[in-house]
């Protein structure tokens, strides 16, 4: 995977961040989701690099990036802090402005990045999320059952992380394998990478802190934006999975129109892991959207 990309360690605000860079053209940052790494982009990165300078990074706490120490207020894994990692990575690679393609947890980082730094993010495409505040505020029984991990991972330390760390591979396979396409959606090399990184000490704690932040400090930041009448100014494209809980449980476009001024999007015929289940679709959408 990523044979034409160059690996680079970048010193971020709170530790080392693992990145890869390839291609040429306008800069495009790719951010992965839970419980994955940059490897989730393996089916689209090479093609995107024919048009863009593609930068991939492992979010703090994931992949080969630093496991940052937890704090009582979950500030270290707030999406505001993680957005600053993304800026540090792109500045290291020489880019003051860039576009963003992001999935799942990475898409939540991208949302905060675009909100806090409208002069930096030019456009963003988000895969299979609705705004965090809207999802928590509109949680239903069906959503809680489908996204049980949202409520398991935010429980007080140390129980959730201890259970993950007791068998990280089982956690990866259980969470990812029980969605629409099962484990067949993942290339063996990519799945092996997710499992390797899940075994790195501190991963369980980092995953839990990411979700604890989303249920606490991230909601505070989102509520402040709503109270101030702030909306995303950049063009936003959202894609959600026809066979995923986000589209089935929420009015995705309505929730995004409440938080952004210029939104387009649609449901796509696959499950949650859109970039791995439907890479040709993601490529077509990305090339059309980011080249406008």
Enzyme catalytic residues? 104, 272
Cβ atoms of residues 266 and 236 within 8 Å: no
Neighbours of 174 (CB within 10 A): 11
- 3-41 per-residue burial string, b: 16 or more CB within 10 A, e: under 16: eebeeeebebebeebbbbbbbeebbbbbbbbbbbbbbbb
18 Rama sector, left if φ>0, alpha if ψ -120 to 50, beta otherwise: beta
Can you tell me the distance from the alpha carbon of 149 to that of 51, in angstroms, rounded to the nearest whole number?
Answer: 37
Can you tell me the distance from the alpha carbon of 1 to that of 120, in angstroms, rounded to the nearest whole number?
Answer: 29
């Amino acid at each position: 995977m990523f044979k034409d990309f160059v690996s680079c360690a970048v010193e971020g605000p709170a530790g080392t961040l693992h990145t890869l860079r390839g291609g040429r053209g306008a800069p495009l940052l790719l951010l992965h989701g839970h419980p994955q790494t940059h490897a989730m982009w393996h089916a689209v990165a090479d093609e995107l690099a024919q048009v863009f300078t593609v930068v991939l990074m492992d979010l703090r706490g994931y992949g080969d990036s630093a496991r940052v120490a937890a704090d009582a207020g979950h500030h270290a894994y707030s999406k505001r802090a993680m957005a600053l990692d993304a800026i540090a990575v792109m500045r290291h690679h020489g880019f003051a402005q860039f576009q963003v393609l992001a999935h799942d947890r990475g898409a939540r980082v991208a949302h905060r990045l675009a909100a806090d730094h409208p002069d930096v993010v030019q456009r963003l495409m988000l895969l299979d999320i609705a705004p965090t505040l809207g999802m928590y505020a509109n949680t239903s029984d069906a959503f809680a059952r489908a996204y049980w991990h949202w409520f398991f991972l935010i429980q007080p330390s140390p129980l959730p992380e201890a259970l993950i760390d007791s068998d990280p591979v089982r956690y990866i396979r259980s969470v990812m394998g029980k969605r629409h396409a099962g484990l067949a959606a993942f290339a063996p090399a990519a799945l092996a990478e997710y499992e390797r990184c899940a075994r790195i000490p501190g991963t369980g704690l980092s995953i839990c802190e990411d979700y604890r932040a989303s249920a606490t400090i991230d909601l505070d930041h989102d509520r402040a934006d709503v109270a101030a009448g702030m909306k995303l100014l950049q063009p936003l494209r959202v894609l959600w999975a026809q066979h995923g809980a986000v589209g089935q449980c929420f009015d995705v476009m309505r929730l995004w129109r409440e938080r952004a001024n210029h939104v387009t999007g649609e449901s796509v015929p696959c499950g949650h892991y859109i970039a791995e289940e439907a890479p040709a679709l993601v490529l077509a959408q990305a090339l059309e959207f980011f080249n406008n």
